[in-house]
Structure 1
């Protein structure tokens, strides 16, 4: 399972676009977040027109992760006649969309991440350390025999996820790497990732959510770098 990214940047590095990912299985488009630049990128892609179903998973409520969700939901229904499903940890997103002029009857909403989707595909919300004033999560995404971990915005990699990765239970990690060396309570740095991940395993870790241009240092350290489609 490979995630495709419409943007790879952090909130304060918008030149790379809002960090958001998607993939398709069985004609079902799955999106992770819909930040400020995401609708513009997705509107230009065929997937939103060719897929029968569209589900958007929300990691948290910062603008660079939900900023264009209202426009996206409204466009899909009004222009494409497709009613999307939004999955989030609480119903605050419903009020936010209402204030954007997108009432709840324009999309489906649920807080149930645990449902099984397309033939063996499932999402599990994993709490992460990012913001103290809202719920924040990453995802374990299981697709038949493959499991990946998507950290979303996270300052730390939990010991449980790390041990599953080392044991081969998680094959690939996509992780926040906003800073080169800066210590932050909200985001991870390359320096911290190097402390977590042994060199021989770094080729299975994809860095994302960049707060600057230090991709060459990421590659030199042995990690992968996500790029926008």
Structure 2
């Protein structure tokens, strides 16, 4: 689409190659970097560490710690929770920015963390460091903004 080859960091190259084959994604569309869960890999001046994320029983999903320019960023990937260790690191100032998969409705079995649960987890004074991703509609944008969270916007594609 953008004529750019995407680099994907994932703990199981076989699983992704199988999925991409089914979806008719060609090998020349991406660069797959196999990694190990909870183990950092270096990509130039960036370090990335995949960590297991809770999404659904049927799908293995990963979040990522990204270390760059003396900053620590957590990106949740598809996730309906924030792991306790990650939340503690964030609350103790060890994570500079937290990007969390968020949805508006709060229902049992959701693969995404509701904005109401996110607001229960994150103290008001830290919400300016939280960026909601995987936006499912305008209700979420309004509520997240009202509660003091950021919404990720895509610019300059």
TM class by smaller structure: 0.7 to 0.9
Alignment-derived partner of residue 19 in structure 2: 96
Tell me, in whole angstroms, the C-alpha distance in 1 between the residues paired with 2:148 and 2:29: 45
Choose from 119, 123, 138 the match for 1:194.
119
Relative to structure 1, the CA distance from residue 166 to residue 107 in structure 2 (aligned partners, 3 Å threshold; closer, same or farther) is closer
Tell me, in whole angstroms, the C-alpha distance in 2 between the residues paired with 1:56 and 1:225: 24
Q: Contact between 2:49 and 2:64, CA under 8 Å: does it hold in 1?
A: yes
Tell me, in whole angstroms, the C-alpha distance in 2 between the residues paired with 1:105 and 1:201: 41
Choose from 67, 77, 80 the match for 1:142.
67
Confirm whether residue 228 of structure 1 aligns to residue 150 of structure 2: no
1:145-160 equivalences in 2 (<5 Å):
145-160=70-85
The alignment covers a number of residue pairs equal to 149
Tell me, in whole angstroms, the C-alpha distance in 2 between the residues paired with 1:208 and 1:199: 18
1:34-113 equivalences in 2 (<5 Å):
39=1, 42-43=2-3, 48=4, 55-57=6-8, 87-90=9-12, 91-99=14-22, 100=24, 102=26, 104=27, 108-112=31-35
Q: State the superposition RMSD in angstroms.
A: 2.2
Q: What stretches of structure 1 move > 6 A for 4+ residues in a row?
A: none
Give the alignment's TM-score, normalised by structure 2: 0.83
Give the alignment's TM-score, normalised by structure 1: 0.59
Tell me, in whole angstroms, the C-alpha distance in 1 between the residues paired with 2:112 and 2:25: 31
1:107 CA drift (Å): 5.7
Q: Deviations over 1:108-127 (max 9, x none)?
A: 533226321122x1111111
Q: Which has the higher contact order (CA 8 A, sep 6+)?
A: 1
Alignment-derived partner of residue 208 in structure 1: 133
Give 1 or 2: higher strand fraction.
Answer: 2
Report the 3-state secondary structure (helix = DSSP H, G, I; strand = E; otherwise coil) of the residue aligned with 1:203.
helix
